[in-house]
A and B are shown apart, each in its own frame.
Chain A
């Protein structure tokens, strides 16, 4: 392979990133070497040389090789990357196949004005291309070329749009950011990690004793709860107060942690429309920018919980084709807006769904027998657990009975809140009671509709319709609680639309 005149190399800072990545993989090996030597590896010059050689061989050499051999080139209609020293690889990625072109800047990247580029084509589980570090300006240029190149053949019928003009659809200010943390409650992620570390270090018992007193620590937390549920333990009023206060305190700490989490992840979150693409950028330390073509959106979901409603906000997510999972630390592209003012929702929907909207009058409620069926179901489901709980002890029985009543009420509410709609251009469904989700799918993104019927459905003249899209992380749109006639009608309507439309990934 000859060097191409327009080929670019990586920014040298990539070396540090490669070494870091490589270190992560061999850190265990190095530690074993160090510990195995009893610590006197460094007592002699030979030891130092050996250890240095090991690090060089395992860590630095591969990194240097990757830095030196990696090349990329932006062609007229494709992106070409090649790498490897002994085993060489060259990958051509046509612009038309590029599902998304994302940039991510860790702190180190930002210090040197560079970004990591992640190219996805929607096939497979991994990104098709990764360019570890290139100057920001080069990335911008590359993105411009890709956008231009993609437009030319595929979207000839679409009105020409100025690729450079960005329309801001939503952004999160500092106050919104705190509210996001409060509402989304992502703190448990951090708590879970903390708990795991505490127990890993064997500090669990000591912390239990500090927090809950020696009596609980001696018995163990779970045994104490078990005894409480049986009515064998009689806590004093002050103990109860302390218990409740600790519970409240825990919840508050989790929410505070959640705020920290969202500040790091969603700092300066922006959702912009640029031509036919949606661009999301956010992050305090690692800053990521992801661009999703609107025509790749398979379905859109609006979520809202009780806190959302109190604050007049919603969360907007989309499902795109191709199951690419980002690492834990990076925000998923699928969340268009973690927290959006209800007033701003129509505009985001208009853009993300390409003008498709659910007509108000098309929303229809659940079939009449659904409520009674759900009631029967929760009664049957809870019968045995409640009986067992009463046999176990009065406190457990009381709690179980309350849970049963709660589940019955929740089931009724869910049925009452359920809505579905079939309209010109798509279908939509709204489920949930306290935590509601509304999902909308365009006809031309639907793969197929399946009519499902259980024996219970048949008894009540009902049926379900499962509507499948190519959206990777989204569940199928499950239209439960329909009359059989409506279900068949819905499925046939979708079928007719599918026959008319073409699916292009």
Chain B
């Protein structure tokens, strides 16, 4: 993927690769917290049951196995999610594809956008990322969120979406 103006020609764009790195950080933190919590539970089980040496190995083994399983699921999920997410700015529309199993394809027409937000959380800021939120007057899909953009791209998208919208008096 080139760094050239991503809005050009309305081609499908992947999320910023830095998002993958940021999501890995987040997943790592989660896995550590999960590991500590389940470790405590395992220790509690071991303490109550006071098993022999083989029993101790079983408790440790079960804990290790579930940690490996959880880790694989969490880290793979990110990569999968990243691979299945894409966006593009296609003339009148901002288009989004998300979801691995349950997929959605959202096209937000420029003529229906009420306002937009660009946000940046603390972890996002560390990675130079940001997110764009587009609001329509719709009741059920009124808020469309695009995460995992470079902050500059989010700002650029916002400007593009509101461009030529000076007509709107509201």
State the A residues within 8 Å of B (CB): 321, 447-455, 466, 468-472, 474-476, 491, 495, 498-499, 501-503, 505
A-B contact sample (17 more), CB < 8 A, given A470-B137, A476-B139, A491-B105: A321-B137, A447-B141, A448-B109, A449-B107, A450-B104, A452-B103, A453-B102, A466-B141, A468-B139, A472-B139, A476-B140, A491-B107, A498-B92, A499-B93, A499-B109, A502-B111, A503-B111
Q: In the complex, which residues of chain B have a beta carbon less than 8 angstroms from the beta carbon of A450?
A: 104-107, 141
A452 pairs with B112, CB closer than 8 A: no
What distance in Å separates the Cβ of B139 from its nearest Cβ neighbour in chain A? 6
B139 touches A470 (CB 8 A): yes
Quick check: B105 and A468 within 8 Å, CB to CB?
Answer: no
Q: Chain B interface (Cβ within 8 Å of chain A)?
A: 91-93, 99, 101-112, 136-142, 144
Contact, CB under 8 Å: B141 / A468: yes
B104 surroundings in chain A (CB, below 8 A):
450-453
Q: How far is the CB of A423 from chain B (nearest CB, A)?
A: 19
A475–B140 CB distance below 8 A: yes
CB atoms of A498 and B101 under 8 A apart: no
How distant is the Cα of A450 from the Cα of B137 in the complex, in angstroms? 15
Listed from nearest, the 8 A-B pairs whose CB atoms lie closest are A447-B138, A468-B138, A470-B137, A498-B109, A451-B105, A499-B92, A476-B140, A447-B136
For A475, list chain B residues within 8 Å (CB): 140
Using Cβ atoms and an 8 Å threshold, which residues of chain B touch A451? 104-106
Question: How far does the alpha carbon of A483 sit from the alpha carbon of B16 in the complex, in Å?
Answer: 33
Q: Complex Cα distance A44/B110, Å?
A: 73
In whole angstroms, how far apart are the Cα atoms of A475 and B108 in the complex? 19
Q: How near does chain A come to B100, taking the closest CB pair, in angstroms?
A: 9
Q: Once bound together, how far apart are the Cα atoms of A164 and B105, in whole Å?
A: 48
| B contact residues around A453 at 8 Å (CB) | 99, 102-105
Shortest C-beta distance, A446 to chain B (Å), equals 8
CA distance A491 to B108 in the complex (A): 11
- The closest CB in chain A to the CB of B136 belongs to A447
A-B contact pairs, 27 of them (CB 8 A): A448-B108, A448-B109, A448-B138, A448-B144, A449-B107, A450-B104, A450-B106, A450-B141, A451-B104, A453-B103, A468-B136, A468-B138, A468-B142, A469-B139, A470-B138, A470-B139, A472-B139, A474-B139, A476-B138, A476-B140, A498-B111, A499-B92, A499-B93, A499-B109, A499-B110, A503-B111, A505-B137
B-side binding surface: helix, strand, loop or mixed? mixed
Chain A hits for B107, CB < 8 A = 448-450, 491, 495
Nearest neighbor of A97 in chain B, beta-carbon distance: B170
B142 near A447: Cβ-Cβ < 8 Å:
yes
Contact A454 B93 (CB under 8 A): no
**Bound complex: CA of A495 vs CA of B90, how far in Å?**
12
Given contacts A321-B137, A468-B140, A470-B139, contact A503 B112 (CB under 8 A): yes
Which residue of chain B is the closest to A321 with respect to CB atoms?
Answer: B137
When C-beta atoms are compared, the residue in chain A nearest to B137 turns out to be A470
Residues of B close to A472: CB separation below 8 A: 139
> Which A-chain residue is minimally distant from B102 (CB atoms)?
A454
List residues of chain B with CB within 8 A of the CB of A466: 140-141
In the complex, A321 Cα to B138 Cα: how many Å? 9
Q: Who on chain B is nearest to A497 by CB?
A: B109
Residues in A whose Cβ lies below 8 Å from that of B142: 447, 468
CA distance A505 to B112 in the complex (A): 11
Measured in the bound complex, the distance between the Cα atoms of B127 and A475 in whole Å is 39
Q: Known contacts being A495-B93, A501-B111, A502-B111, is A447 close to B137, with CB within 8 Å?
A: yes
Tell me, rounded to whole Å, the shortest Cβ–Cβ distance linking A120 to chain B. 16
Residues of chain A within 8 A of B99, CB atoms compared: 453
Verify A452–B102 contact, CB threshold 8 A: yes
**CB-CB < 8 A to B136: which residues of A?**
447-448, 468
Task: Check if A455 sits within 8 Å of B139, measured CB to CB.
Answer: no
Which of chain B's residues has its CB closest to A444's CB?
A: B111
CB distance from A314 to the nearest CB of B (A): 24
Q: How far, in whole Å, are A475 and B141 apart by their CA atoms in the complex? A: 11
Give the Cβ gap from A121 to chain B, nearest Cβ, in Å: 12
| CB atoms of A498 and B106 under 8 A apart | no
- Alpha-carbon gap, A136 to B99, bound state (A): 57
Least CB distance, A96 to chain B, in whole angstroms? 11
B93 to chain A: which residues have CB within 8 Å?
A: 495, 499
Q: Which residues of B contact A499 (CB under 8 A)?
A: 91-93, 109-111
CB pair B109 A495 closer than 8 Å: yes
